[in-house]
Structure 1
Amino acid sequence: MDDYRSRAQAGAEPGAWDYLEGGAGAERTLAANVAAFQEVTVVPRVLVDVTTVDTAVEVCGARLAAPIGVAPVAYQRLWHPDGEAATAAGAAATGTLMIASMFASARYEEIAEAGGARWLQLYVLRDRAILLDLVARARAAGFTALVVTVDTPRLGDRRRDVRNSFAIPPHAQSQNIDPETMALTGVPITGGSALATHVGATYDPGLRWEDISWLADRTGLPVVLKGILDPSDATRAVDAGAAGIVVSNHGGRQLDGALATLDALPAVAEAVEGRIPVLVDGGVRRGVDVLVCRALGADVVLVGRPPVWGLAAGGAEGVAGVLGGLRAELELAMALTGRPCLADLTPAMVRRPSR
Structure 2
Amino acid sequence: MSDETATPTSAGRTRQNEIYTEGIHGRGPRVPTDHAELERRARRVMSKRAWAYIAGGAGEGSTMASNRAALDRWAIVPRVLRDVSSRSLETELFGRTLPAPVLFSPVGAGALAARDADMHIGHAAAELGVPYIFSNQGCAPMEQVAAEMDRVRPGAPRWFQLYWSTDDDLVDSLLGRAERMRADAVAVTLDTTMLGWRPQDLNIGSLPFARGEGIDQYTSDRRFREIVAERVKAAVAAERPEISLGAIKTLVSIARNSPGGLLKNLTAPEPRVAVQTFLDIYSRPSLNWDDIAGLRERTSLPIVLKGVLHPDDARQAIDVGVDGIIVSNHGGRQVDGAIGSIDALVAIAPVVDGRIKVLVDSGIHTGADVFKALALGADAACIGRPHMYGLALAGADGARDVVANIIAELDLTLGLSGHTSVTDVTREALQQIS
TM-score by length of 1: 0.92
Deviates more, 1:80-89 or 1:5-14: 5-14
- Which structure: larger Rg? 2
- Correspondence for 2:218 among 163, 177, 186: 177
Report the Cα distance in structure 1 between the residues aligned to 2:202 and 2:67, rounded to whole angstroms. 23
* 1:1-355 pair list within 5 angstroms: 1-112=35-146, 113-115=148-150, 116-168=156-208, 172-178=213-219, 202-353=282-433
Report the Cα distance in structure 2 between the residues aligned to 1:130 and 1:200, rounded to whole angstroms. 13
Report the Cα distance in structure 1 between the residues aligned to 2:97 and 2:110, rounded to whole angstroms. 25
Contact 2:91 2:423 (8 Å CA) reproduced = no
Deviates more, 1:125-134 or 1:276-285: 125-134
Report the Cα distance in structure 2 between the residues aligned to 1:258 and 1:322, rounded to whole angstroms. 27
- The residue type paired with residue 114 of structure 1 is M
SS in 2 for 1:279: strand
Report the Cα distance in structure 1 between the residues aligned to 2:90 and 2:114, rounded to whole angstroms. 30
Percent identical pairs in the alignment equals: 39
Give the C-alpha shift of residue 200 in structure 1.
6.2
Report the Cα distance in structure 2 between the residues aligned to 1:36 and 1:177, rounded to whole angstroms. 36
Contact 2:49 2:112 (8 Å CA) reproduced = no
Give aligned pairs, total: 346
- The residue type paired with residue 320 of structure 1 is R
Report the Cα distance in structure 2 between the residues aligned to 1:2 and 1:62, rounded to whole angstroms. 33
Map of 1:191 onto structure 2: none
Report the Cα distance in structure 1 between the residues aligned to 2:278 and 2:195, rounded to whole angstroms. 9
Contact 1:63 1:117 (8 Å CA) reproduced = no
Contact 1:154 1:200 (8 Å CA) reproduced = no
Report the Cα distance in structure 2 between the residues aligned to 1:82 and 1:4, rounded to whole angstroms. 21
TM-score by length of 2: 0.76
- The residue type paired with residue 160 of structure 1 is Q
Give the C-alpha shift of residue 158 in structure 1.
0.9
Deviates more, 1:125-134 or 1:318-327: 125-134
Indicate the RMSD between aligned Cα atoms, in angstroms.
2.3
Give the C-alpha shift of residue 145 in structure 1.
0.9
Report the Cα distance in structure 2 between the residues aligned to 1:198 and 1:353, rounded to whole angstroms. 46
Contact 1:40 1:351 (8 Å CA) reproduced = yes
What are the Cα deviations for residues 269-291 of structure 1, in whole angstroms up to 9, with x where unaligned? Answer: 10001000000001111111100
Contact 2:142 2:181 (8 Å CA) reproduced = yes
Report the Cα distance in structure 2 between the residues aligned to 1:230 and 1:213, rounded to whole angstroms. 18
Report the Cα distance in structure 2 between the residues aligned to 1:156 and 1:172, rounded to whole angstroms. 18
